[in-house]
Amino acid sequence: MLKRIARGIRNHFEHKALVLMYHRVADLESDVWDLAVTPTHFEQHLQLLKQFGNVMPVAELIQNLRRKTLPKRSIAITFDDGYADNYLAAKPLLEQYQLPATFFIATATIDQDQEFWWDVLEYIFLCVNPLPSLFSYIISDCKLAFDLSAEQHLTPELQQKHYQWKAVSMPPPSQRATLFYEIWQLLKPLPYATQQEHLHHIRTWAGVAASARPNHRSMTLHHLRDLSRNKLFTLGAHTLTHPALSSHTSQFQTQELCASMQYLTQASGQEINLVAYPYGDYNNQTTAVTATIGFHAAFTTSARPITKSSDIYQLGRFQTPNFNAQDFEKYLDHWFKHQ
C-alpha cells in the first residue's frame, strides 16, 4: 500500500515537457479555428517563456525523452502548416529572444498562389458580401440545400457574430456559419484533388476569385531555405496536402508523408525526422507508417504533456490561443501543475 502511494507521489511530480502549438502570428478579423496569435501577444509569450521554463529545440526534447532525462519545465515551440507569417512575423521575434522553434510544413502550397481550403471556405461563407440567396450542392452523396436569403447580405451585427465565433467550442451563430461548418466536415476527409474540385464549384457559386489573399499565403521556397540556415529553427513534415490521415489507406499515408519529407530535405539539405499529423488525425496505420519511413518522433494535437512514459509517435501538444501575458502565465502554470 505504502509503495503504491509513494509511486503515485513520484508520478505526480514527474518532470513534464510542454510542446506549444502555434499556427499563425497575425492580426485577423475572422479566425474561426482560433489559429492566430497577434504579434504583440506572441512577443509577450516569448518574454514569459524566457523566464518561465527551459525552452529547447524539439530534437533535444526528444533526445531527453529517449534517455528519460527530461529537465524540469521543459518547453518546445512548434508551428503547423507553413503560413508566410511564420517567417515574416514569428521568425524575427524568435530571433530577437533567441528561442528555438520547429516548423511543420504542408508542402503542396509552398510557392503557390493559393490558400488552404479551410481559409477559402471561411472567407466565402463568413466574410463575402453578398452571397447568392440559395445554395444547393452534393458532397460525398450528402445533399446540401440552404436558403440564405435572410443572410444574403452581411449586416454589421451578423459580421460581428462571425468574427466572435470559435467553431471548436461554440455552436454556429448563423445559417451561413451552419452551412460553412457542414461543408467543412464533409471536405475534411476527402483527398486534396476532390477538395479543390468542390472549392472551385463553391467559388464559382459565390463569385470569388481563386487567387490567394496576401495575409493567407504560405511560405515561399526562399522562406523555407532561409529558416533552415538558422540554427534556431528546424523543419518538420506535415504531409504534402494536409489530409486527415486516418480517412485514407496506408499507401496514401505513406505517399503523403514521404512526399513532404523529400520536399523539405531537398529544400533544406537537412535530414527531416520530425512530423506532426494534420488536424492531429491519425490511426494505428499512421503510427506504423511513420516509424517505418524513419521519423524519430510524431506529434498530435492532443492537449497533454510529455512525460517519460509518452509514446514517441503520439506526443501531445497544447494549442496556444491569443492569450495576453497574464492569461498565458496562468495557463502555463495550470498545464504544468494539473495536466
Peptide bond into 130 cis (omega under 30): yes
pLDDT at residue 14 is higher than 70: no
Cell numbers at residue 309, please?
512514459
CA distance 122 to 39: 22
* 140/135 Cα distance (integer angstroms): 16
Mean pLDDT of 257-262: 98
Cβ neighbours, 10 Å, residue 225: 14
For 22-37, the pLDDT digits (tens) are 999 999 999 999 999 9
Give pLDDT tens digits for 179-231: 999 999 999 999 999 999 999 999 999 999 988 999 999 999 999 999 999 99
Q: What SS3 state is found at 237?
A: strand
Q: Which of 254, 188, 211, 224 is nearest to 79 (CA)?
A: 224
Q: Is the dihedral of CA 223, 229, 235, 241 positive or negative?
A: positive
Segment 237-266 mean pLDDT? 98
Burial 107-120 (b: 16+ CB within 10 A, else e): bbbbeeebbbbbbb
Predicted TM-score (pTM) of this structure: 0.94
pLDDT tops 90 at residue 338 = no
- How sure is the predictor about 53, in pLDDT bands with cuts at 50, 70 and 90? confident
CATH of region 2-112+216-338, choose from 3.50.50.60, 3.40.640.10, 3.20.20.370, 3.40.1410.10? 3.20.20.370
The whole-number average pLDDT for the span 234-256 is: 98
pLDDT band at residue 48 under the 50/70/90 scheme: very high
As annotated, the residues of the chain forming the CATH 3.20.20.370 domain(s) are 2-112+216-338
